[in-house]
C-alpha cells in the first residue's frame, strides 16, 4: 500500500533527484562532446559549437556536480532510505566521480600519442626511404622535414624553426 | 603549418578532436579551440583569431635532402613507431568511407587533388592529370599559374608565371632531367621558358640563359582529397572538368 508522504520521504526524494540530476549532467558532459566530435561523422555547425561549449565548461561543472552529489548523498543517507536505495546512492556518487574523472582524459591523445619535445636527425643520418613523403619547411635558413608517416599519426608537432615557433600539423 | 605565437602568447597545442576529417587543437595557454585546416580559433577566449600562416612543401625525402643537405629530419618516437602509418597508407585510405561526398562525374570523394587557393579563387588540379602531364599551365583567379612535377617524378610545386618585362603569356616546357629518376640532382634544369629560352630548376629559379638568377613566386598548393578540398572551398573550379 502506498505510504502517506512524510517529511522524511519528501526530503529523501529531493536529495535523490538532486543526485540523479548530477549523475545525468556529468554523464552528458562526458559523452556529448565525444559523441559529436568523432572521426567519420559529419558535424553540423550548431551541434559542433554546442559540443565545444560543453568541452570548455565541463571541468567546473563537474567539480560542482561532485560537491553537490556528495552533499546530496550524505543528506539522502541521513533520511534512512532502504538498503537498495542506499546502494543506488553510493553507485550514483561513484558514477558522478567516475564521469568527472574520465572527462579529464583526452581520448584523442590516448589514440594518437602526442609527440612532446621533437628531436631531429641530420638529413644525411636519416634512414628514411627516398620516396617517403615529407612536409618541408624553411625559415630563416633552417630547413626541417617532417615525415608524413609520423606526423599523420601524432598530428601535431610544437616546434621552433629558425627562431620562429611553429606548429606542424597533418 | 602555422606559426604558434600570436599577440605575445606562445601556444602549446594539443589534439582536441576530429572535425569533418580535419582536426581540432586546443592551446594549453588559453584553452581556445583552433581548427587545423584554417588556423582559425572557433571557440574560447581567442575565438575569431587566425594563426600566422607558414608556407611548406610536400616533397619526397630524396628531393628535399638533395635541396637541403644541411636540413634536419624529425625523428620517429621509438615507443609509437609501430603505430605509424605503413608506406602505402594513402592507397588503403582510398577505400575508407567519407562522411562528405561531393561526388561528381569524373570526381570520386577520395580522388587526390592539388588545391590552389590564391588570387581570390580556388582551383583543384587532379593529381593524376598533373602526374601525367608533368607540367600544367593554367590560371587561378586570373593569374597565370604553373604546376610542375619535380625531378623525382613525385613532388609537385606551383609557381606564378610572371616574368618582369615580359608582355603577354609565357609558356614553360618541362625538360627531361639529366639524371635518372630516384637520384634528383639539386639545381638541375627542369623547365625552359618560351619567352627567353632560359632554363629553370625545381625551386623556380633560372639557372641558365637571359633570366639567370630570377626566381618565380611560389604559389601554395596542398595535396588533398577532393571531398575535403570541395568542403572548404565551395566555389572551387576543377582543372579538366567542365562546369554547368
Backbone angles phi, psi at A34, to 5 degrees: -70, -35
With beta carbons less than 8 A apart as the criterion, state whether B11 and A111 touch: no
CB contact under 8 A, B99 and A42: yes
Is A128 close to B85, i.e. CB distance below 8 A?
A: no
Residues A75 and A159 in one domain: no
The reply to whether A15 and A79 lie within a common domain is yes
Report strand pairing: A142-147 vs B72-74: parallel
Does any domain span residue A118? no
B83, A153: Cβ pair inside 8 Å? yes
pLDDT for residue A159 is more than 70: yes
pLDDT of residue B93: 64
Q: Which residue has cell 599551365?
A: B137
Q: Enumerate the residues of chain B whose CB falls inside 8 A of the CB of residue A149.
A: 84-85, 87, 89
pLDDT at A158: 97
Bridging pattern class, strands B121-126 and B135-140: unpaired
Same domain, A45 and A89: yes
Contacts of B7 (CB under 8 A, 6+ apart): B49
**pLDDT at position A3:** 56
Residue A117 lies in a domain: no
- Spell out the domain ranges in chain B: 5-43, 61-244
CA end-to-end span of chain B, whole Å? Answer: 35
Mean pLDDT of A30-44: 81
Smallest Cβ–Cβ distance between B69 and the set A38, A123, A152 belongs to A123
Put simply, the answer to whether A106 touches B16 (Cβ < 8 Å) is yes
**Same structural domain for residues A85 and A150?**
no
**pLDDT (average), residues B182-192:** 75
Q: What pLDDT shows up at residue B81?
A: 78
On chain B, the residues whose CB falls within 8 A of the CB of A157 are 74
By residue range, what is the domain housing residue A56? 7-105
What percent of chain B stands above pLDDT 70? 88
Instruction: Specify the number of domains making up chain A.
Output: 2
From A105, A132, A147, give the residue that closes a domain: A105
To which H or E segment does residue B196 belong?
A: none
Give pLDDT, residue B244. Answer: 44
Distance between CA atoms of A168 and A148, rounded to whole angstroms? Answer: 11
Across the interface, which of B13, B18, B69 has its CB nearest the CB of A158? B13
Measured at the CA of B185, the angle between CA B131 and CA B194, to 5 degrees, comes to 60
Nearest residue of B to residue A120, measured between CA atoms: B74
- Dihedral sign (CA B199, B204, B206, B211): positive
Domain for residue A115, yes or no?
A: no
Question: Does A70 map to a domain?
Answer: yes
Chosen domain end from A105, A136, A161: A105
Domain-embedded: residue A39: yes
* B interface test, pick of A43, A108, A120, A134 with most B CB neighbours within 10 Å: A134
Number of H helices, E strands in chain B: 4, 21
B22/chain A closest Cα distance in angstroms: 9
Residues A64, A95 share a domain:
yes
pLDDT the model gives residue B73: 97
Residues A137 and A100 in one domain: no
Q: Would the pLDDT of A144 be above 80?
A: yes
Q: Is residue A63 assigned to a domain?
A: yes
Instruction: Give A163's contacts in chain B (Cβ within 8 Å).
Output: none
Does A127 lie in the same domain as A94?
no
Q: Where are the beta strands (DSSP E) in B28-103?
A: 33-35, 41-43, 57-60, 72-74
Q: What is the pLDDT of residues B123-133, one digit of tens each?
A: 999 999 999 99
A71-110: pLDDT as tens digits: 988 888 888 778 888 898 899 999 999 999 999 998 888 8
Q: Could you tell me if A92 and A33 lie in one domain?
A: yes
Residues A151 and A95 in one domain: no
CA distance B230 to chain A (A): 15
Amino acid at each position: 500500500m502506498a505510504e502517506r508522504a512524510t517529511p522524511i520521504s519528501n526530503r529523501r526524494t529531493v536529495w535523490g533527484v538532486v543526485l540523479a540530476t548530477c549523475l545525468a549532467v556529468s554523464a552528458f558532459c562526458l559523452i556529448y562532446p565525444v559523441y559529436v566530435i568523432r572521426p567519420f561523422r559529419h558535424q553540423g555547425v550548431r551541434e559542433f559549437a554546442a559540443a565545444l561549449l560543453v568541452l570548455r565548461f565541463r571541468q567546473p561543472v563537474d567539480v560542482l556536480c561532485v560537491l553537490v552529489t556528495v552533499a546530496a548523498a550524505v543528506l539522502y543517507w541521513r533520511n534512512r532510505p532502504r538498503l537498495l536505495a542506499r546502494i543506488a546512492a553510493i553507485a550514483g556518487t561513484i558514477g558522478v566521480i567516475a564521469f568527472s574523472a574520465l572527462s579529464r582524459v583526452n581520448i584523442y591523445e590516448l589514440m594518437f600519442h602526442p609527440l612532446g619535445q621533437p628531436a631531429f636527425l641530420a638529413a644525411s643520418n636519416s634512414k628514411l626511404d627516398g620516396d617517403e613523403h615529407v612536409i618541408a619547411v624553411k625559415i630563416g635558413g633552417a630547413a626541417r622535414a617532417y615525415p608524413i608517416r609520423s606526423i599523420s599519426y601524432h598530428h601535431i608537432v610544437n616546434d621552433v624553426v629558425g627562431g620562429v615557433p611553429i606548429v606542424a600539423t597533418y | 603549418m602555422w606559426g604558434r605565437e600570436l599577440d605575445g602568447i606562445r601556444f602549446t597545442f594539443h589534439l582536441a578532436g576530429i572535425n569533418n576529417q580535419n582536426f581540432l587543437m586546443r592551446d594549453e595557454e588559453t584553452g581556445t579551440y583552433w581548427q587545423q585546416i584554417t588556423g582559425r580559433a572557433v571557440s574560447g577566449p581567442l575565438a575569431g583569431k587566425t594563426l600566422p600562416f607558414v608556407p611548406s612543401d610536400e616533397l619526397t625525402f630524396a628531393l628535399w635532402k638533395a635541396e637541403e643537405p644541411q636540413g634536419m629530419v624529425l625523428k620517429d618516437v621509438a615507443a609509437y613507431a609501430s603505430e605509424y602509418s605503413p608506406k602505402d597508407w594513402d592507397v588503403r585510405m582510398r577505400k575508407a568511407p567519407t562522411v562528405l561526398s561531393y561526388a561528381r562525374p569524373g570526381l570520386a570523394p577520395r580522388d587526390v587533388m592539388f588545391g590552389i587557393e590564391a588570387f581570390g579563387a580556388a582551383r583543384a588540379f587532379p593529381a593524376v592529370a598533373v602526374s601525367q602531364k608533368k607540367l600544367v599551365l593554367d590560371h587561378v583567379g586570373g593569374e597565370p599559374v604553373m604546376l610542375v612535377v619535380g625531378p623525382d617524378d613525385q613532388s609537385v610545386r606551383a609557381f606564378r608565371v610572371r616574368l618582369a618585362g615580359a608582355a603577354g603569356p609565357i609558356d614553360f616546357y618541362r625538360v627531361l632531367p639529366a639524371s635518372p629518376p630516384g637520384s634528383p640532382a639539386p639545381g638541375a634544369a627542369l623547365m625552359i621558358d618560351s619567352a627567353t629560352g632560359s632554363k629553370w630548376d625545381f625551386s623556380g629559379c633560372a639557372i641558365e640563359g637571359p633570366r639567370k638568377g630570377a626566381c618565380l613566386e611560389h604559389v601554395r598548393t596542398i595535396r588533398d582529397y577532393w571531398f575535403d578540398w570541395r568542403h572548404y572551398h565551395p566555389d572551387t573550379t576543377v582543372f579538366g572538368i567542365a562546369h554547368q
